[in-house]
Amino acid sequence: MKSVRVVCAHDCPDMCSLIAHVDDGKLVRVQGDPDHPYTAGFACGKVNRDADLVNSPERVLTPLRRDGPKGSGQFKSIRWDEALDEVTERWKAIIGESGPLAVLGYAYSAHQGLLNRGLVLGLFHALGTSRLQAGTVCDTCCETAWDVTVGPVGGADPESVVHSDLVIAWGADLAATNVHFWALAEEQKKKRGMPIVVIDPRRTRSAKQADLYLPIRIGTDAALALGVMHILVRDGLANREYIARRTLGFDQVEREILPKFTPARTAEITGLAVADIEKLAAMYGRAKAALIRLGEGMTRLAQGGQALRTVALLPGVSGHYDVKGGGALLLTAASCDLNYAAIRRPSGPASTRLVNHLRLGEALLEMRDPPIRALYVSANNPSVTCPEAHKVRQGLAREDLFTVVHDPFLTDTARYADIVLPAASYLETDDLYRAYGAYWMQWGQQAAKPRGEARSNFDVAQALAKRMGLNDRVFTLPPKEAALELFKGATGPAAQANREKLFAGEPIHIAHDWPGQPFKTPSGKLEFYSEQLAKQGLPPMPDWTEDPIEAADAKKWPLRLLTAPGYFQAHTAFSGVSFLRQREGKPFCILNPADAAQRGLKAGDTVRLFNDRGEIGLVLQVNDEIQPGVVLVPGQRPTSETVSGTINMLCSDRYTDMGEGATYQSTWLDIAPWPVSDRPSQ
Ligand SMILES: Nc1nc2c(c(=O)[nH]1)N[C@H]1C(S)=C(S)[C@@H](COP(=O)(O)OP(=O)(O)OC[C@H]3O[C@@H](n4cnc5c(=O)[nH]c(N)nc54)[C@H](O)[C@@H]3O)O[C@H]1N2
Ligand SMILES: Nc1nc2c(c(=O)[nH]1)N[C@H]1C(S)=C(S)[C@@H](COP(=O)(O)OP(=O)(O)OC[C@H]3O[C@@H](n4cnc5c(=O)[nH]c(N)nc54)[C@H](O)[C@@H]3O)O[C@H]1N2
Ligand code: SF4
Ligand SMILES: [Mo]
């Protein structure tokens, strides 16, 4: 048995260092690295099972060619050279007839390695195909909101929490999605009595441990943040010196916006008690180093950008952006300045037609001149995770669409493919990583032999590039040499990384030695007033107003959807592990007891969730984890697991106010009993 130090590649802010135990090339067990300060010797409950993921009997082991109707899941095994020849011959023919825009590479984040994630993008960039506007299903809204307010720069170091005297988890269930920060914060709470506040419409696992839990009404975070600012100003707790020195436009916000957000009106909008709002403001106002962990949860709705931006302005009022252990943390990656273009944009046109990640269905069904005729999906399962999932499936079912899916598993999306290629997992690949929620960089080497004939994203991108006649050097380099390209022209701590230590697998700390939070906005200050937003016709100052489309939907339907991460699943990436499927349980929804009683429903019932977009079936749980008027559906589960359908069949593909992101939670619906006789066959 051999131990190999590797890096977790799942889409997660923590980027753990892991120890893989391998016997004769076979992965036996994975555990957290005890010698990595942030990982601190433990992996999460999902990754503790990654040996089951890698060795799952459900993995695809050879390339497959479709041998039945699209969606049927009928395939025949073929050889790699046959598969690659067929793919590239079809692409060449389609490009010859319709031009490169008829091809779309749809690759995302399930492998966080800079090579395995980046080179697939590099392939399609170099081919000049239609280009994916990636990440709108996830973080483009929060990222845009942060960028216009703070600038494209990383936030607070999560490890600075040892200096914090208050942590606020605002729209983030840290016990699910950021377990290493959560563990550090809890340790500070135990050691020093540092209080933790949780602001979330769901009484999450994190909320249950909090000193103060605020069950906020969905989509009202901007109002709460403005209500807190109102009290800080009222009580003389605003840091005037900091505001004058480091921020722009606060005086106008103070004059025109804050007077509207009295505690009483804030309570009315947010559904919170005045006493709780006062308590939050007092805790925040008196703290010396309050750290706000901004979650993406508050941005997955129509006015999500406004919500995140407003909360990110709070440390500008307290001045905590200048204090170690204070400020705000959304993401850190923007401060790791590597030469990403070397991998992601080796050649190809500077701009081309864009396809929004969350509107795949519409793109496949409606795009013309030319229509999308070839689709390559990698590390992404859009028929489950993309809103308007019905449209995605209708698009994928098009007989004249040539679809290739590269995945370790035969996903719901792969079932529609003409060619399925077996993907190697991260434990079977070499790659360079940098965290997006901490300041660490690390090389992760291949620990296990790829199962069957599985090949990595990097390897397949190179093989396809070669057959397509692309000559860029990066398509010929071995992984380590390709990784070195990332350092050419790099700046900051990442550029300084000692290559010998790096490639020996040592974690490299890449935190900047900051005198305080830098601002990379046009003014160089924290922007309460944003000219960039004004130019886009958006409110230049933080504010909260009711969204008119949401208000109309709320009149038509009685329940609002709340989406939240699964504790034992992350989207569909672990659905090949039967143990974790069982831990997560039969795909379910949760109703407040009052809403369940009103509909004559009880826990364990199979229920129908429906709206104008369709209907799906889930198993009902009833408890007060959520407020009346809301239905919680954790995660997105494959149709094979659910009673019928998947939650994104009910979700709209409307864009958020900033970053053209997904608005899963701007979804209204109703729930009713679902007798077996009424259910469609799957
Ligand atoms: N309703 C609703 N929908 C949501 C969300 C929500 O909150 N609510 N959240 C959204 C968010 S935040 C995100 S990020 C998206 C995620 O959506 P997706 O990106 O579709 O994520 P996964 O379902 O995890 O699918 C990843 C796929 O990659 C495969 N994979 C894993 N490793 C590799 C690899 O190394 N190579 C290749 N080729 N494949 C690999 C996995 O088997 C899996 O099939 O979902 C979004 N969808
Ligand atoms: N276990 C697990 N871990 C994961 C994932 C997973 O699916 N499962 N997904 C990974 C990915 S791809 C991502 S992008 C990150 C995302 O991780 P986070 O940034 O934590 O974001 P979300 O998971 O979308 O939502 C977090 C919380 O926001 C709450 N919320 C929803 N609406 C509102 C609102 O209007 N206001 C407030 N204050 N709170 C609200 C939800 O109830 C939920 O508890 O997590 C990553 N880690
Ligand atoms: S916490 Fe995140 S980075 Fe760490 S092992 Fe789990 S998924 Fe991977
Ligand atoms: Mo995400």
CA atoms of 52 and 59, how far apart (whole Å): 11
Q: Hey, how many other C-beta atoms are within 10 angstroms of the C-beta on 255?
A: 9
Q: What is the mean pLDDT of residues 524-550?
A: 98
Whether residue 515 has pLDDT greater than 70: yes
Q: Which ligand is in closest contact with the Cα of 547?
A: 2
Dihedral pair phi/psi, residue 431, rounded to 5° = -170, 165
Peptide bond into 479 cis (omega under 30): no
**pLDDT value for 676:** 87
Q: How confident is the model at residue 682 (pLDDT cuts 50, 70, 90)?
A: low
pLDDT at position 620:
97
Residue with the nearest Cα to atom 19 of ligand 1? 380
Give the number of the ligand closest to the Cα of residue 46: 3
User: Alpha-carbon distance 605 to 619, whole Å?
Assistant: 6
Is the pLDDT score of 167 beyond 60?
yes
Q: Counting ligands in written order, which one lies closest to the CA of residue 662?
A: 1
CATH 3.40.50.740 correct for 76-138+336-425+454-478: yes
The predicted model scores a pTM of: 0.98
% the chain with pLDDT above 70: 100
DSSP for 511-532 reads ----SS----STTSSEESS-HH
Residue 179 has pLDDT above 80, yes or no: yes
H helices within 68-132, ranges in order?
80-98, 114-127
Shortest-distance Cα residue to atom 37 of ligand 1: 379
- Quote the CA–CA distance of 663 and 645 in Å, as a whole number: 19
Q: How far apart, in whole angstroms, are the C-alpha atoms of residue 404 and residue 87?
A: 8
Strand partners, 376: 105, 404
Instruction: Look at residue 211 and tell me whether its pLDDT is greater than 60.
Output: yes
Q: Which homologous superfamily is 156-330+516-535 in? A: Dimethylsulfoxide Reductase, domain 2 (3.40.228.10)
Average pLDDT over residues 327-335: 97
R_g (Cα) of the chain, nearest Å: 25
- Is the Cβ atom of 634 under 6 angstroms away from ligand 2? no
Which atom of ligand 1 has the smallest separation from the CA of 135?
Answer: 14
| Each residue's pLDDT tens digit, 573-604 | 999 999 999 999 999 999 999 999 999 999 99
Mean per-residue pLDDT, 116-124: 98
In the structure, ligand 4 is a single-atom ion and the residues with CB under 5 Å from it are 138
- Average pLDDT over the chain, rounded to an integer: 97
Segment 617-667, tens digit of pLDDT: 999 999 999 999 999 999 999 988 888 999 999 999 999 999 999 999 999
Q: How confident is the model at residue 675 (pLDDT cuts 50, 70, 90)?
A: confident
Q: How confident is the model at residue 514 (pLDDT cuts 50, 70, 90)?
A: confident
Residue ranges of the domains in the chain?
A: 76-138+336-425+454-478, 156-330+516-535, 548-678
Q: Residue 434 pairs with which residues in a beta bridge?
A: 441
Q: CA–CA separation, 471 vs 315, rounded Å?
A: 49
pLDDT (mean) for 513-526 = 94
Q: DSSP for 155-216, please give it.
A: ---GGGGGG-SEEEEES--HHHH-HHHHHHHHHHHHHH---EEEE-SS--HHHHT-SEEE-P
What's the pLDDT tens digit per position in 19-63?
Answer: 999 999 999 999 999 999 999 999 999 999 999 999 999 999 999
Q: What is the pLDDT of residues 472-505, one digit of tens each?
A: 999 999 999 999 999 999 999 999 999 999 999 9
Please write the tens of the pLDDT for every residue from 292-303: 999 999 999 999
CB atoms within 10 A of CB 2: 11
If you take atom 4 of ligand 3, which residue's CA is the nearest one? Answer: 16
CATH number of 548-678: 2.40.40.20
What integer pLDDT is reported at residue 562 of this predicted model?
A: 98
CA of 629 to the centre of ligand 2 (A): 20
**How much of the chain, in percent, has pLDDT values that exceed 90?**
97
- Locus of tokens 């602001």: 199
DSSP for 576-629 reads T-HHHHHHH-S-EEEE-HHHHHHTT--TT-EEEEEETTEEEEEEEEE-TTS-TT
N-terminal to C-terminal alpha carbon distance within the chain? 44
Give φ, ψ of 321 to 5 degrees: -60, -20
